[in-house]
């Protein structure tokens, strides 16, 4: 019984780390994957580097977006879900 009492604080630290650090990160990653999967041609997006554009073509891992200066091929992971949601919220 005394040995369990010694490990209880360490176990508590791991539980706290899981709920405050690991679990929220996993949830965010899941939301980003769902956002990337929901993208379709014609959607207006903003990349993490600040490019504004409209999706012209989609593939498994990348896409082509139309910007004011031409077309760019980018990775799906380069799109910012937060900025894109804010853009679409203000334009509707």
Helix and strand counts by DSSP (H, E) for the chain: 3, 4
Dihedral through CA 22, CA 27, CA 32, CA 37, nearest 10? 130
pTM: 0.71
Residues 17-65: pLDDT tens digits?
998 999 999 999 999 999 988 999 999 999 999 999 999 999 989 999 9
CA atoms within 13 A on the CB side of 6: 3
Q: Is 62 helix (H, G, I), strand (E, B) or coil?
A: strand
Q: Is the pLDDT of residue 5 over 90?
A: no
> Which residues are CB-contacts of 53 (< 8 A; sequence separation ≥ 6)?
44, 45, 46, 47, 65, 66, 67, 72
């Amino acid at each position: 019984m005394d040995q369990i009492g010694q490990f209880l604080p360490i176990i508590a630290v791991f539980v706290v780390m899981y709920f405050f650090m690991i679990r929220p990160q996993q949830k965010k990653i899941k939301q980003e994957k769902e956002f990337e999967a929901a993208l379709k041609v014609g959607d207006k997006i903003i990349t993490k580097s600040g490019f504004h554009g409209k999706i012209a073509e989609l593939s498994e891992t990348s896409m082509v977006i139309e910007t004011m200066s031409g077309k760019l091929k980018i990775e799906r992971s380069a799109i910012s879900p937060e900025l894109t949601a804010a853009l679409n919220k203000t334009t509707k």
